[in-house]
Structure formats: C-alpha cells, structure tokens
Chains A and B, each alone.
Chain A
Amino acid sequence: MKNYISRKVEVMKPSGIRAFFDLVLGMKDVVSLGVGEPDFVTPWEIREAGISSLEQGYTSYTSNKGLMKLRMAVSQYLKKTYGLDYSPEEEILITVGVSEGVDLALRAVMEPHDKIIVPSPSYVSYGPMTELAGGVPVYVDTRKDNFKLTPRNLERHIDAKTKGIIFNYPSNPSGVSYTRKELKSLAGVFLRHKLLVFSDEIYCDLTYDFDHTPLASLGKIKDYVIYLNGFSKSYAMTGWRVGYACGPKEIINAMTKIHQYTIMCVSITSQMAACEGLHVGAKSVEEMKREYKRRREFVVSELNRIGLSCHKPQGAFYAFPSIKSTGMHCLDFSKRLLAEERVAVVPGTAFGDELTEYIRISYASSFEKLKEALRRIDVFVKKRKEK
C-alpha cells in the first residue's frame, strides 16, 4: 500500500520503550512502579457530583472556554491559594488535561522553526508536541546539576530563534522542583530574552520541602507565562481529563480558537465533577501529601541503600535513581528486572536520549507494594554485582 503517513509523524520517536510497555501490559503478577498516576480513586464526593450531574440531565456541550462556574471556581482558587489574578471571562480556558493545554499553547504561538527549550529529563510529550506544532525542541541536559535547570545552563541554549520554554515543576520524571529564589533567578533570564514560558505545574500540590510558588506569581513575568494546571494529580482525576490554561488574554483567545475547532469543549460531566473537586478539595490534598512524603523518604533511603544512588526529589511522586553501579543500559535493566523479578519501572531514555543510566520509579503505590518491589530490586542488583 502507498505510504500515506505524514513525514512529520513517521519520524516521531516510537523507540524501544513502547515495546517494553507492551511487555509489561502483557504480563501478570507484576509489581509495578511504572504508574504515572495517583494510587487512589477519585474521592467519592467528586464522583458523586459527576453521577448527580448525569442524573439531572447535564449532557450537553458547554461554552468553548468551559463552564463559567468552573472557570470562576478556578479563578477564585488561584486567587485564594497563590494570590494570582486571572479573569474567568478572558484569561482561563478549560482544557482536556494539561496535555491539551501545552499543545494549544504551542500551536497558538509557533512559527515554523521556532525553537522551544525543553529541560531534560522531560515529560515524554513536550518534544513531539513541539515538533507537531512546527517548532524545534532544544533539549537542555541537566544531569550535572541534579536535574535542575540553572540560569547559566539555560542561557547557553538561547539564541535569536528561541521562542519559549516548556517548564515543568515539580518534574515528571525527576521530581525536581524550584524554590521561590531559584524561580526568581530563572525568571530573570526568561524576561531578559522575552521567552514565553509554558509552565506545567500539574504536580504543584505535591511539593514536600517548601511551598510551591507559581512562576506567574513573580511579578512582571506573568505576562509571559501560560500557567497550566489541572485536576489529575491533586484530585486523583486522571481519567476525567480536565485541566486549565491561564495566561494573557490574547494567547488564551488564540488557544480558544484552536480548541473550539478541534475539541469544542471538555466533557460536561468531567467539568461538573471538577467544580466539586475545587469545592471540597483541600483537606484530602494535605493528607495525601503527607502520605507521599513518607513514601518518598522510604523509597529514596532504600534505593540508596541498595546502591542505586538517588537524589531526593522535592515533589511529584517519582524517584529517578541512577543505575550506573550495575553497568547496565536502562532498557536492558528494565527488561531483565521485569523478567527476573516481575517489577516494572520506566527506563530513563523515555525522558531523554542521554538518560541511559537512569530509571523512573513511581511511589504512587501502597507502602506494602513499595516494600516488596524494593526487596526484589535489591535481590536483582545483588545478583548483578555477584557476577
């Protein structure tokens, strides 16, 4: 058959990771540390709100930008939590998760061959989304700074074609986050070069060692920030697919244009449930954070004991240890660990080509499962060292 596939899509990385994922999904009795979502179901109040909206017959389209009541709730929440001002009429758009938000923002501003900075390791879709939008991702290797983007390292990668940066903190997969002070010095560089910042702060509620500071709350930089957040991680609503984008009204308007022609609107059931999430949220978020923090301490201390050296992540629910001591490539490590000990992890190269010596471990699993998985990893690593 004639090849109908667009060149742009054909060259997109499928990589060995997909095959590895299929291997995991086809296997039984696996203890998985590979899951990128919270380990509990959406709180009942929120599910109940979804059900009740269906019972009342809320099954229609909503306004393209999203239900006014949800945009107002988001606006109030941001004001109350961070002192951020975003008008529900003009500066907030409800999206299908942060993923759609990033895609819309990139497409709304991109001219062919514009460069977009992507600190590496990065969430898997930033690069491909940039390419699909016609831009060029410029990956910044952050290994020598414990996966933290520094102003110096950033500065070195900026040139006249650089349009913006996709900035994710706390980070999936490294768990790295930034203090207010660190953000201020980065914001200085962003401003000096007038970079647009696509700020993916979906893990904001899971920040352990200091308070999360939204980049947009740091004064003048707000005019350059597209603040992206959602309900997946804080309210365990991954499958509902609801997020929001906030930013300067010109950009939100441009994003809304694309959104209205491609998506139309987010499912009304999900929007109704999300309203309830903001209404009841805070308490369970605090409890969840304490629980994850304990798991973090346990997992990091165990990994280091086992000999997989691991810096302490400041947020999200991922640890990103080095497997250098085993001398193995991450894909090989992950495949053998799966085959021999039935533990699933995600190979580092999923998040950047240079990350052959790392794996991502998710601690969004019960303490018992984590304990068992780490015991098995210990056995696996010891076997390697005996050889």
Chain B
Amino acid sequence: MDEILEILEKDARVTPEEIAKMTRKKPAEIKKAIAKYEKEGIILKYKAVINRELVREKDSEVRAIIEVNLTPQKDQGFDKVAERIYSFPEVYSCYLVSGTYDLLVFVRGRDLHSVARFISEKLSPMENVRGVVTHFLLKKYKEDGVMLKQKEEDKRIAISY
C-alpha cells in the first residue's frame, strides 16, 4: 500500500504539507495523489473514531449482528438480495460469508425496539430470507483495530539515555 494511505489510515488529520515532509515529496504531489485516491474511491471518506461507550446522551444506540440465511436467486446469486438488505440505512456493514449462514449483517438503531422492528418487519419477511439469528451487542472492546479504552499515559520515564 502506498505510504500516503498508510499515514492517512492512521491519522486522517495529517496535512499534505506534513506528509510531504515525512516522505520527502512536494506538497503538490501529495495533494494530487490524495485527490486521485478520493476520485477513484480508494479513500472513501474521513471520520473520527468515537467511543460511544463514553457518550452518555439520549442519542445512545443499540447494535446487533444478524446471521441471515438466504435463498439465492437464479442468475444473480446473492448479490441482488444482499443489495436489498444493505440498502437499508440501519445496516452499517454487510458481508457474504462461508459457513452455516450466508450474510452477516451489522445493524444499529436508537433502541432495542427499533432494531427489533427492523428485523421483524423489514428483514425477516423478505422473500429470499429463509431465517435469521440475532445477536445484540453488549459491550465493545475493540473496533476497526482500535481498542476502546481510555488512552493510557506514557509509562516511560520522561528522560533517559
């Protein structure tokens, strides 16, 4: 992977000028490369990683992981029916997997009720959905490679040889 991507994946706030200094290139070159990545959809978006466990507000959310069994459609396999499912805004991740079920769907909603309604009213009744098993998330420990815990302070002594 290109070094620019490696840097931005770790910290999207690093500026093109700073990346230029780190990689000994010209800022214009970096800007051009980033623009290209954005255009090609390699860089999709920039966002903050928020530890929602610590956000104690009314807008808290409930997440669930749903195993979905599908009946594949003629000529289209799973893609078409998967698209129908992942197009719902409640679905934030969706994968086709091998094993005892077909789709692994990650959904979120304001509360238990709204997630349950999505499953019972939208997902389960779909023609090609043969069955679902729902797991509600109780606690998040690590997400996208980030451990969701308070930043630990530097344990090194401040000065040493």
Contact = CB atoms under 8 A, between A and B. Distances in A.
B is bound to A? yes
Interface of A: 21, 24-25, 30, 32, 34-37, 39, 41, 123-125, 172, 290, 294-295, 297-298, 301-302, 344, 346, 350, 367-368, 371
B161 A39 contact: no
B3 A290 contact: yes
B154 A39 contact: yes
Interface residues of B, number: 18
Query: What are the nearest 6 A-B pairs in CB distance?
Result: A34-B159, A294-B22, A32-B158, A36-B160, A24-B159, A298-B21
B28 interface: no
A350 B23 contact: no
B152 to A, nearest CB: 9
A197 B7 CA distance: 40
Contacts of B22: 294-295, 297-298
A297 B161 contact: no
Contacts of A41: 155
Contact of B156 (A21, A30, A37, A368): A37
A144 B7 CA distance: 36
A71 to B, nearest CB: 28
B54 interface: no
A346 B161 contact: yes
A32 B3 CA distance: 27
B14 interface: yes
B161 A124 contact: yes
B24 interface: yes
Contacts of A371: 18
Given A24-B159, A124-B161, 14 more contacts: A21-B159, A25-B159, A34-B159, A35-B157, A36-B161, A37-B160, A125-B161, A172-B161, A290-B6, A294-B23, A298-B22, A302-B21, A368-B11, A371-B18
A157 B117 CA distance: 84
B158 A297 contact: no
B21 A346 contact: no
Contacts of B23: 294, 297
A98 to B, nearest CB: 12
A124 B159 CA distance: 14
Interface string B125-158: 0000000000000000000000000000011111
A25 B158 contact: yes
Contacts of A32: 158-159
B158 A24 contact: yes
Contacts of A37: 156, 160
Contacts of A125: 161
Please classify the interface of chain B as helix (H, G, I), strand (E, B), loop, or mixed, using the class held by over half of its residues: loop
Contacts of A368: 11
Interface of B: 3, 6-7, 11, 14, 18, 21-24, 154-161
Given A290-B6, A367-B11, A367-B14, A297 B160 contact: no
B158 A35 contact: yes
Given A302-B21, A367-B14, A294 B160 contact: no
Nearest to A345: B159
6 contacts: A35-B156, A35-B158, A297-B21, A302-B21, A344-B158, A367-B14
Contacts of B159: 21, 24-25, 32, 34-35, 344, 346
Contacts of A24: 158-159
Contacts of B6: 290
B4 to A, nearest CB: 11
A123 B158 contact: no
Contacts of A367: 11, 14, 18
Nearest to A296: B22
A301 B21 contact: yes
A368 B158 CA distance: 16
Contact of B160 (A35, A290, A298): A35
A353 to B, nearest CB: 16
A298 B17 CA distance: 10
A368 B157 CA distance: 19
Contacts of B3: 290, 294
Contact of B18 (A30, A290, A298): A298
B121 to A, nearest CB: 43
B158 to A, nearest CB: 4
A297 B161 CA distance: 22
A298 B3 CA distance: 14
Contacts of A298: 18, 21-22
Contact of A39 (B14, B156, B157): B156
A25 B18 contact: no
B161 A123 contact: yes
Contacts of B157: 25, 35
A295 B159 CA distance: 19
B81 to A, nearest CB: 39
Contacts of A294: 3, 7, 22-23
A141 B154 CA distance: 35
B17 to A, nearest CB: 10
